[in-house]
């Protein structure tokens, strides 16, 4: 019998942090159990053709959205796919690869929630929405260091793509179960990336863990480095979990405890169990950073994957 994998979507604009979050979650779930698909592989044109046609990679017409949908449906049914490969170093396509889905599949990319068929394939949907200034900074550093662009070329691209970002990328926020925004603390715009705060918008489209006991009843939590608040997102009511970059290990452990009390299989991945890699990321200049806000984000997403596995794959979870 073919087991149906649990599928996580991670969508957001270019350099919003999708690959970084994907790597962290795969590390939490165990890389041998995770298949990662990047939807950049479904680009219709290579870099040279896009420049000639004057079309951006963000436009649905610049992508084989139909093949992406078909592959998502196959993966959802536990079937293998023959996936194209877009190579960011050469700006061209490599020979396709044959992929069999593991227990968990993470699909990250630009247009993952752009159609109903695609959206219906995910168990958990995350959208990344850093402030545009931070995203620009990340994109300039990443594209100049890893994709062979000059700073001027990246800035020109960002400017040219803005209308497609507005029309095709940002509206996908509405379909997410969880919206993740890393941002620098207000009092320090030069804050290093490991101390960024995170704002997690939790939509009631999936059952989130009950975190009310991390609040001291009756007290004002506005000054606390970890806060649970009620708010609105796209005019709909949501819960918001805020974690400041300077939250201490003890405070973070409190939240980890809440997550692990409902999903004990998450326990080995928590920082209190001595998982040294949780929250680690490679910075834009290749340096290794560690962030508690990132660690908690990874754990919360992993929590939802493990919960979904409990429901859809009973018996095969370790
Ligand atoms: N949470 C974070 N904290 C600090 N730095 C981050 C974070 N997320 C991403 N970055 C930095 O931003 C850069 C771009 O991130 P990443 O490659 O994950 O984006 P992406 O959304 O996958 O981009 P693309 O879609 O263009 O491939 C990374 O090189 C990393 O240094
Ligand atoms: O928006 C992007 C997501 O990564 C890239 O710009 C797009 O995939 C094209 O890649 P490249 O710039 O390497 O040709």
Higher pLDDT, 223 or 97: 97
Nearest to 181 by CA among 23, 7, 21, 57: 21
pLDDT at 84: 98
Mutate to test the pocket of ligand 2, among 11, 43, 57 (most ligand atoms within 8 A of CB): 57
CB proximity list for 86: less than 8 A, separation 6 or greater:
40, 41, 42, 43, 46, 92, 93, 94
Given a cut of 60, is residue 45 above it in pLDDT?
A: yes
Alpha helices in the chain (DSSP H): 18-29, 47-53, 65-76, 116-119, 132-146, 151-164, 249-262, 292-312
Domains defined for the chain, CATH in brackets: 1-127 (3.40.50.300), 177-311 (no CATH)
Task: Compute the distance from residue 154 Cα to the ligand 2 centre, in Å.
Answer: 11
Residue nearest to atom 2 of ligand 2 (CA): 14
What does pLDDT average to over the chain? Answer: 91
Task: Compute the distance from residue 173 Cα to the ligand 2 centre, in Å.
Answer: 20
Distance CA 94, CA 84 (A): 7
Band (28; pLDDT cuts 50, 70, 90): confident
- HSE of 96 in the Cβ direction (CA atoms, 13 Å)? 9
Residue nearest to atom 6 of ligand 1 (CA): 17
Q: Is 280 in the pocket of ligand 1 (CB under 6 A)?
A: no
Distance CA 244, CA 182 (A): 10
Cα 182 vs. chain centroid, distance in angstroms? 11
Q: Is 17 in the pocket of ligand 1 (CB under 6 A)?
A: yes
Distance CA 248, CA 271 (A): 12
pLDDT at 73: 98
Dig out the tokens for 123 from the structure: 């168990």
Given a cut of 80, is residue 219 above it in pLDDT?
A: no
Q: Is the ipTM of this complex over 0.85?
A: yes
Dig out the tokens for 180 from the structure: 């993740």
Instruction: Give the pTM.
Output: 0.94
Given a cut of 50, is residue 62 above it in pLDDT?
A: yes
Residue nearest to atom 8 of ligand 1 (CA): 17
Write the pLDDT tens digit of every residue in 253-272.
888 888 888 888 888 777 76
Nearest to 240 by CA among 227, 257, 225, 259: 227
pLDDT at 2: 60
Distance CA 317, CA 212 (A): 28
Q: Is 193 in the pocket of ligand 1 (CB under 6 A)?
A: yes
C-beta neighbour count of 276 within 10 angstroms: 8
Dig out the tokens for 225 from the structure: 């480095």
Given a cut of 70, is residue 315 above it in pLDDT?
A: no
pLDDT at 189: 52
Write the pLDDT tens digit of every residue in 170-194.
999 999 999 999 999 876 555 566 6
Cα 201 vs. chain centroid, distance in angstroms? 13
Write the pLDDT tens digit of every residue in 1-10.
468 999 999 9
């Amino acid at each position: 019998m073919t087991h149906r994998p649990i599928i996580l979507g991670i969508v957001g604009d270019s350099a919003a942090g999708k690959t970084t979050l994907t790597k962290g979650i795969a590390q939490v779930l165990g890389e041998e159990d995770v298949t990662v698909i990047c939807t950049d592989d479904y680009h219709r044109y290579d870099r040279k053709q896009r420049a000639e046609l004057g079309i951006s990679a963000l436009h649905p017409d610049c992508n084989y959205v139909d093949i992406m949908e078909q592959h998502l449906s196959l993966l959802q049914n536990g079937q293998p796919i023959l996936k194209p490969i877009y190579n960011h170093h050469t700006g061209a396509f490599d020979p396709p690869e044959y992929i069999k889905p593991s227990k968990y599949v993470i699909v990250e990319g630009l247009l993952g929630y752009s159609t109903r068929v695609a959206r219906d394939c995910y168990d958990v949907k995350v959208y990344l929405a850093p402030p545009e200034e931070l995203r620009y900074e990340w994109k300039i550093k990443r594209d100049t260091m890893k994709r062979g662009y000059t700073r001027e070329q990246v800035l020109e691209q960002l400017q040219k793509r803005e209308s497609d970002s507005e029309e095709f990328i940002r509206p996908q926020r509405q379909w997410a179960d969880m919206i993740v925004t890393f941002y620098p603390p207000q009092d320090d715009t030069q804050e290093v990336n490991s101390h960024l705060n995170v704002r997690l918008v939790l939509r009631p489209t999936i059952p989130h863990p009950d975190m009310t006991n991390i609040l001291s009843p009756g007290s004002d939590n506005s000054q606390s480095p970890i806060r649970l608040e009620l708010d609105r997102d796209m005019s709909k009511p949501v819960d918001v979990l805020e974690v400041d970059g300077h939250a201490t290990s003890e405070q973070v452990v409190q939240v980890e405890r809440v997550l692990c009390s409902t999903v004990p299989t998450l326990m080995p991945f928590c920082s209190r169990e001595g998982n040294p890699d949780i929250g680690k990321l490679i910075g834009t200049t290749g340096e290794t950073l560690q962030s508690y806000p990132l660690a908690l984000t990874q754990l919360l997403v992993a929590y939802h994957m493990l919960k979904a596995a409990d429901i859809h794959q009973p018996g095969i979870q370790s």
